[in-house]
Amino acid sequence: MDDVGAVRGRLWRGGELVAEEFDFEQISTYLQDDTCLIWVDLCGPGEQLLSRLAGELSLDPQAVEDSIAHAERAKATRYASHVFLTAYATKLLDSGENSPIGRNRSGLSVARVSAFVFPHGVITVRTSPDFDLEPVITRWDDNADLIKYGVGALVHGLLDVIVDSHFETVQALDDEMENLEDILFDERTISGQVQRRTYEIRKDLVQLRRVILPMREVVNGVLRHRKDRQAAPELDSWYDDLYDHVLRASEWTESLRDMVTTIFETNLSLQDTRLNTVMKKLTAWAAIIAIPTAITGYFGQNVPYPGYEKAWGFALSTAVIVGVAGSLYAAFKRQGWL
């Protein structure tokens, strides 16, 4: 992608869309034109292309490096000529298979996008196509009346789609945990499967928190930059709503972490309870079986006893066995041991 002609993007004038494709060399010209609003997307750009772009737009070298670096933390950083931000969209991957405790999934998918925000445009950089920009474009089209307010509308649409993906992921994890809670006390449930699924959810939550929690700093950074520039106040309510969603997603992940810990501990407690129940039953049956064993062993000695070699003696010993064993069974049953 180092030899670039036309690039994917959009060009607006006066809030009206006028072009969806233009030459790479025109980017700097449009960004300097006060009548233009531009968005450019670079997917998997090479170092040579980014170097050309950095030279033309005076991009900070550190920001350029961060845009393609691996495992970069979500953040928003202000530089002299632009704001650089990195964020991650999330979703749960469905394996398409069912298990006794619900539908299996392949894990949490995290897709990254970085953006260089200028006064009259946004340049998004994706290291891979995992981050789908079509929902972002749809969000811009659905709120086309906001485009006239400038670059803030583009940044809001991008961040709003990302935060919505966080909400959808958190909701899906919440549903999984509710399903675990529903079957937790089912005697037919295999506790090992519940424990494994709990570990999976816990692992996904750890990864999700690393993505969601820094979003407060990202949105705060964008809000501070807007305030310093005295940007369009018409977008303030939209950003306030966005920040509220970020806070709610963060608080939700914290509550889910407590819930998954509770589920894990409850499952272990139930295993101990079930084990105690089994041990009580085994103890009760051992006591019951010990009675006929003791009586038959006693009467089996080679000495005369009441009813020795008599039919009524056999009947007496049998009655004693049944009577004592039955009494023990009834007593254990009343106590819930059987």
Tell me, what's the pLDDT at 2? 47
Tell me, what's the pLDDT at 4? 54
Which of 233, 255, 273 finishes a domain?
273
Tell me, what's the pLDDT at 304? 65
Same domain, yes or no: 266 and 121 = yes
Distant-in-sequence, close-in-space partners of 133: CB < 8 Å, separation ≥ 6: 41, 113, 124, 126
Same domain, yes or no: 295 and 186 = no
Helix H or strand E encompassing 108: strand 102-118
Same domain, yes or no: 91 and 40 = yes
Same domain, yes or no: 285 and 256 = no
Residue 163: CATH number of its domain: 3.30.460.20
Residue 1 lies in a domain: no
Same domain, yes or no: 282 and 182 = no
Work out how many domains the chain is built from and give that number. 2
Which of 230, 257, 273 finishes a domain?
273
Tell me, what's the pLDDT at 133? 92
The closest alpha carbon to 218, from 63, 112, 84, 72, belongs to 84
Tell me, what's the pLDDT at 230? 67
Tell me, what's the pLDDT at 1? 43
Tell me, what's the pLDDT at 272? 72
Contact status, residue 27 vs residue 40, Cβ threshold 8 Å: yes
Residue 227 lies in a domain: yes
Which of 243, 273, 303 finishes a domain?
273
The closest alpha carbon to 38, from 82, 78, 72, 2, belongs to 82
pLDDT in 10s for each residue of the chain, 338 residues: 444 555 789 999 988 999 888 888 888 899 988 889 999 999 888 778 888 888 888 888 888 888 888 878 899 998 888 899 999 999 888 765 555 555 566 578 999 999 999 989 999 999 888 899 999 999 999 999 999 998 999 999 999 999 999 999 999 888 888 888 777 766 665 666 777 888 888 888 888 989 999 999 999 888 887 776 767 788 888 999 999 999 999 999 888 888 888 777 777 777 777 777 778 777 877 877 887 777 777 666 555 666 667 777 778 878 887 888 888 788 777 766 66
Same domain, yes or no: 69 and 150 = yes
Tell me, what's the pLDDT at 247? 92
The closest alpha carbon to 115, from 156, 164, 169, belongs to 156
For residue 28, what are the domain limits? 6-273
Same domain, yes or no: 66 and 87 = yes
Same domain, yes or no: 124 and 196 = yes
The closest alpha carbon to 260, from 177, 179, 184, belongs to 177
Same domain, yes or no: 269 and 303 = no
Residue 221 lies in a domain: yes
